[in-house]
Amino acid sequence: MNAKAETQGSRLDSVKLTLAIALLLGAVGAFYYFAEASLLLRVLGLLATAGVALAIMAQTAVGRRLLGYLVETRTEVRKVVWPTRQETIQTTLIVFAMVIVMGILLWLLDMFLLWAVRLLTGQAG
């Protein structure tokens, strides 16, 4: 009996997801079809339809998993210890310094290789 209920639930979920996708595609199509209408009205219509499509999608198993994932992600982001302004500035300055040092080293390597190639090909001075 559970297998039958799962099959009906998954079929209903598929119908809901298909309806949500069809609504989104229809909204995008209408956005461009009514190009002569006010941009504000077209954007509001697109956003309203997207909201309805997301509400329909949230009623499916996939939508519930996605919402759960988003809630867990938000919780994890709140646990992150963000660097202070001073730490960020110091790290940025270190990165700039290393970029300058590597640029100078690569320039010196390039000059050396240019000198070596000219010497080997007989084009030197």
Domain ranges of the chain: 2-79, 83-125
Taking the whole predicted model, whether its pTM rises above 0.75 is answered as no
Count of CB atoms within 10 A of residue 57's CB?
21
Both structure tokens of 30: 């209408």
Q: Give the Å distances, CA to CA, from 113 to 66, 93, 99, 110.
A: 55, 30, 21, 5
Per-residue pLDDT averaged across 105-122, rounded? 95
pLDDT of amino acid 2: 56
pLDDT of amino acid 124: 72
Q: What is d(CA 67, CA 3) in angstroms, rounded to the nearest whole number? A: 25
Buried/exposed code over 89-109 (b: 16+ C-beta within 10 A; e: otherwise): eeeeeeeeeeeeeeeeeeeee
pLDDT of amino acid 10: 83
pLDDT in tens, 6-48: 556 688 889 999 999 999 999 999 999 999 999 999 999 999 9
